[in-house]
Amino acid sequence: MVKKVKLKPKDRSIVFDTSAIISLASNSLLWALGDLRKQFKGHFYIPGSVKAEIIDTPLQSKRFKLEAMQVLSEVAKGNIEIFDHSEEVQSEISNLSATANSIFMARGNYIKIAHTGELGAIAIARILDSDAVVIDERTTRILIEEPQRLADLLESKLHTPITINRENLRRFQNKVDGLFVLRSSELGVIAYEMGLFDRYTLSGEEKYVADPKLNVLDGVLWGLRLRGCAISTEEIDAVLKLEGFTQLNK
């Protein structure tokens, strides 16, 4: 039975959407959440809608049952907590959806660009005044951070002019103003800096690979990218350079 959450006003929190949990699970990195949560000294939440997507539904299938059990294990340990959809949360999701999905128009129709998982994460983060929301899916993250760039991307993808409803864009920006967005890749870098991946850089590995630490961090970032996290090659190279690696893997 999932424990229902009662938040204290001053508790710190980070809210994860579906895409971020899937990226971590498919790279076998969920185990790092325990140490990351302890370092953060707060709560890691997923909305009830995300639980339905990554636990309830997969448990009824064969293909993603193991990933669902891995997520459920972190829930049982208290590293991930379920924030159920109250009337307040559901109302906020409905308002966000009505606004976010009425911003960009192509050929006379509005484009649905945000879904329940990420909208649920944003709604809860707003209600709790969370420290951050973790979203790997590119569209919603760019909508929050660079809406004009999203319009350009949609125009390029759909090969048609995009009209922006400026009033709805303004309303959405007001709702997400001050919301700090992270990706699983940033969490991966923090985990690396905490030494959580030292288990993969043991003495003697130099016989087989020139720089084990470089390869571990490069592998984490590329693994996340190839399994759902929207991080570019240029961003990966920039991270490696910031971590002191001048000879990058190619």
Going by C-alpha positions, the residue among 85, 117, 115 that lies closest to residue 101 is 115
Q: What is the pLDDT of residue 226?
A: 96
Q: What is the pLDDT of residue 4?
A: 43
| Whether residue 16 has pLDDT greater than 90 | yes
Q: Is the CATH number of domain 1-182 3.80.30.20?
A: no
Going by C-alpha positions, the residue among 43, 49, 62, 44 that lies closest to residue 18 is 49
Q: What is the pLDDT of residue 248?
A: 64
Alpha carbon distance 139, 224 (integer Å)? 17
Q: How many beta carbons lie within 10 A of that of residue 219, not counting itself?
A: 15
Q: What is the pLDDT of residue 249?
A: 56
Name the least confident of 83-87, 126-130, 223-227.
Answer: 83-87
Q: What is the rounded average pLDDT for all residues in the chain?
A: 91
pLDDT band at 161 (very low <50, low <70, confident <90, very high): very high
| Whether residue 231 has pLDDT greater than 60 | yes
pLDDT band at 5 (very low <50, low <70, confident <90, very high): very low
Give mean pLDDT, residues 52-75: 94
Q: What is the pLDDT of residue 10?
A: 58
